[in-house]
C-alpha cells in the first residue's frame, strides 16, 4: 500500500471519532515508519512494506478505541519543544501556551526565579526556560514519575539547567520567586467531560479537584504570597467557567493587577495577579 493510500483510508476511519482525523493519521504513520510528517508528503507515492503497514494498523487500532495520539506515539509538540509524554501526566495542550505568552510579557528582572507547580511533563517550565536563558526556572510535582519525565524532557531539549523535584505543591519549595505558574487540577468530579475524548485516558489526579474544581487553585492562591518576592506574579490556568471565581480569590488574597487571558477558542483560560510590595504575606 502506498503512503497516500494508507493516509486516505486512515482519515476516513478516524473521521467519526476524531476532529483532527488528518493530523492523527499523519502522526500515526510517521511514528510507524519512524519519519517526520514532511517525509510523508515528499514520498507520498512510496510503497509501505508489510512491517510498516502492520505497525501503522496497530497504532490506528488504538486510536480508533479513543486512546490519545500523544500516548500512542509517546510525544507531543508544545511551544517550540518536542516532549515525551506518558499516561502518568497530562498531555500538554496548545491553550496552555497562552500562559507562556503572558509570562513572557511581564516586566520581570533578567535574573528572575520562576517555579512551575504541578509541572507534569515540564512543559511550562521548559518553554519559559527556552525563551529566557537567564531565568532560574524550576518545577515540582507530587508524582515521582512526572518528575522523572520532566527531567527526561529537559535533557531531550538540552535545557538541563531547569531543575525538577518532588513536592506536594509548596511543601519542598524554598525561597521566594518573581513568578509562580501552575496548571493545577481544576475539573469537578461530576463533569461529564471526564468521560469524553482524550481526557478519559489521562490521570484523574491531574484533572480533578474538590470544591467544584477550585480546591487546588484556592490553595495555591492562598499560599503563593509566602513564596513571592515583592511585585512577583502568579499565573494560573483554570476552566473557562472559573475565571470570575479565580479572579475573586486573587483579589481577596490581596493580589493587584488581576486579570485573565483568553485561549485559542476565545475562552478565559489564564488568570493572574501581582503581589504588591506594600502588602505582607
CATH number given to 76-275 = 3.40.50.150
Range with lowest mean pLDDT among 32-36, 116-120, 270-274: 32-36
HEC per residue, 81-141: EEEECCCCCCCCCHHHHHHHHHHHHCCCCCCCEEEEECCCCCHHHHHHHHHCCCCEEEEEE
Q: Where do the domains of the chain lie?
A: 3-66, 76-275
pLDDT per residue as tens digits for the range 60-80: 999 999 999 999 999 999 999
3-66: which CATH topology? Helicase, Ruva Protein; domain 3 (1.10.8)
- Residue 207: CB atoms within 10 Å: 19
Q: What CA–CA distance (Å, rounded) separates 249 from 79?
A: 29
pLDDT-above-90 percentage for the chain: 83
The answer to whether 123 and 83 are in contact (CB under 8 A) is yes
Mean pLDDT over all residues of the chain? 93
Grid cell of 113 as nine digits:
526565579
Backbone dihedral angles phi then psi of residue 227, each to the nearest 5 degrees: -125, 10
Q: Taking the model in full, what pTM does it have?
A: 0.91
As a whole number of angstroms, the distance between CA 220 and CA 115 comes to: 12
> pLDDT tens digits for 191-220?
766 667 777 777 777 887 778 889 999 999
Fold match between domain 3-66 and domain 76-275:
no
For the chain, the straight-line distance linking the first and the last C-alpha, in angstroms and rounded, comes to 65
HSE (side-chain half, CA atoms, 13 Å) at 128: 33
Using alpha carbons, select from 237, 180, 230, 231 the residue that is nearest to residue 214. 237
Work out the pLDDT band at 186, boundaries 50, 70, 90.
confident
CB atoms within 10 A of CB 27: 22
Higher pLDDT, 198 or 57: 57
DSSP secondary structure string for all residues of 27-79: HHHHHHHT--HHHHHHTTTPBPPHHHHHHHHHHHHHHHTT--HHHHHTEEEET
Contact of 249 with 218, CB cutoff 8 Å: yes
Size of the chain, expressed as the number of residues it contains: 281
State the pLDDT at residue 251: 97
The answer to whether the CB of 31 falls within 8 A of the CB of 59 is yes
- The rounded distance, in Å, linking the Cα atoms of 234 and 223 is 11
| Model confidence pLDDT, tens digit, residues 141-169 | 999 999 999 999 999 999 999 999 999 99
Q: List, for residues 251-271, the tens digit of each pLDDT value.
A: 999 999 999 999 999 999 999
Instruction: Quickly tell me which residue has 489521562 as its cell.
Output: 202
Amino acid at each position: 500500500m502506498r503512503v497516500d493510500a494508507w493516509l486516505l483510508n486512515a482519515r476516513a476511519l478516524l473521521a467519526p471519532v476524531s476532529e483532527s482525523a488528518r493530523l492523527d493519521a499523519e502522526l500515526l504513520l510517521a511514528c510507524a515508519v519512524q519519519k517526520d510528517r514532511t517525509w510523508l508528503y515528499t514520498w507520498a507515492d512510496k510503497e509501505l512494506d508489510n512491517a510498516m503497514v502492520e505497525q501503522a494498523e496497530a497504532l490506528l487500532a488504538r486510536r480508533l478505541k479513543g486512546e490519545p495520539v500523544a500516548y500512542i506515539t509517546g510525544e507531543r509538540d508544545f511551544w517550540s519543544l518536542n516532549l515525551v509524554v506518558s499516561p502518568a501526566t497530562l498531555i500538554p495542550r496548545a491553550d496552555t501556551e497562552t500562559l507562556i505568552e503572558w509570562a513572557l510579557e511581564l516586566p520581570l528582572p533578567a535574573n528572575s526565579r520562576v517555579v512551575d507547580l504541578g509541572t507534569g511533563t515540564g512543559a511550562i517550565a521548559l518553554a519559559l526556560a527556552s525563551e529566557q536563558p537567564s531565568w532560574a526556572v524550576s518545577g515540582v510535582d507530587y508524582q515521582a514519575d512526572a518528575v522523572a519525565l520532566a527531567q527526561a524532557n529537559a535533557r531531550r531539549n538540552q535545557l538541563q539547567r531547569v531543575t525538577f523535584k518532588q513536592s506536594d505543591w509548596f511543601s519542598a519549595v524554598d525561597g521566594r520567586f518573581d513568578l509562580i505558574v501552575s496548571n493545577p487540577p481544576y475539573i469537578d468530579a461530576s463533569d461529564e467531560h471526564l468521560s469524553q475524548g482524550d481526557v478519559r485516558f489521562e490521570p484523574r489526579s491531574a484533572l480533578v479537584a474538590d470544591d467544584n474544581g477550585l480546591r487546588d487553585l484556592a490553595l495555591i492562591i492562598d499560599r503563593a504570597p509566602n513564596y513571592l518576592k515583592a511585585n512577583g506574579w502568579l499565573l494560573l490556568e483554570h476552566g473557562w467557567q472559573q475565571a470570575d471565581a479565580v479572579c475573586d480569590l486573587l483579589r481577596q488574597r490581596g493580589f493587584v493587577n488581576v486579570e485573565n487571558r483568553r485561549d485559542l477558542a476565545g475562552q478565559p483560560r489564564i488568570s493572574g495577579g501581582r503581589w504588591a510590595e506594600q502588602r505582607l504575606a
